[in-house]
């Protein structure tokens, strides 16, 4: 499976919930909420762990937690996401699925880390 197929599938999955970008690629004028994720590509027969981040502007965590709940429900015990070329990736929840991460420079900016695992089949 090509890395481009995996990365497109990851983007497609996260974009179902909010605007999504690879880490470091969100525009300066991005509208909240949005999701960032690392460019993560597992090798054959490998499962890799990674963190996606949900960014939200609010004084409270309720709205960002609701978005995390929607992603949690979509993943369930494991979520199969088809890729171009006939393969698929699987996204799983990791340990301590949701964790808050304060942004000290801006108390209204909220960040939540989602602990995830990723596997891909190779055709």
Token pair, residue 26, equals 């969100």
The answer to whether residues 90 and 118 touch, using CB atoms and an 8 Å cutoff, is yes
Domains of the chain: 3-120 (3.30.2000.20)
pTM value is 0.90
Query: Exposed, middle or buried by CB within 10 Å (0-12, 13-18, 19+), for 113?
Result: middle
Element (H, E) at 97: strand 88-102
Model confidence pLDDT, tens digit, residues 79-119: 999 988 888 999 999 999 999 887 888 888 889 999 999 99
Segment 16-21 shows an average pLDDT of 97
Please provide residue 61's backbone torsions phi and psi, each rounded to the nearest 5 degrees.
-100, 0
Whether pLDDT at 123 is above 70: no
**pLDDT of 36 higher than 90:** yes
Contact 80, 88 (CB under 8 A): yes
**Which residues does residue 55 pair with via DSSP β-bridges, in sequence order?**
34, 111
């Amino acid at each position: 499976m090509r890395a481009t197929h995996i990365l497109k599938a990851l983007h497609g999955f996260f974009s179902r919930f909010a605007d999504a970008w690879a880490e470091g690629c969100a525009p300066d004028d991005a509208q909240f909420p949005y999701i960032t994720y690392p460019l993560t590509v597992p090798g054959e027969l490998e499962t890799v762990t990674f963190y996606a981040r949900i960014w939200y502007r609010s004084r409270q965590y309720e709205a960002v937690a609701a978005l995390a709940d929607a992603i949690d429900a979509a993943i369930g015990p494991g979520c199969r996401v088809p890729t171009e070329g006939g393969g698929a990736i699987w996204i799983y929840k990791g340990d301590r699925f949701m964790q808050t991460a304060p942004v000290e420079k801006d108390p209204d900016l909220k960040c939540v880390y989602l602990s995830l695992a990723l596997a891909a089949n190779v055709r």
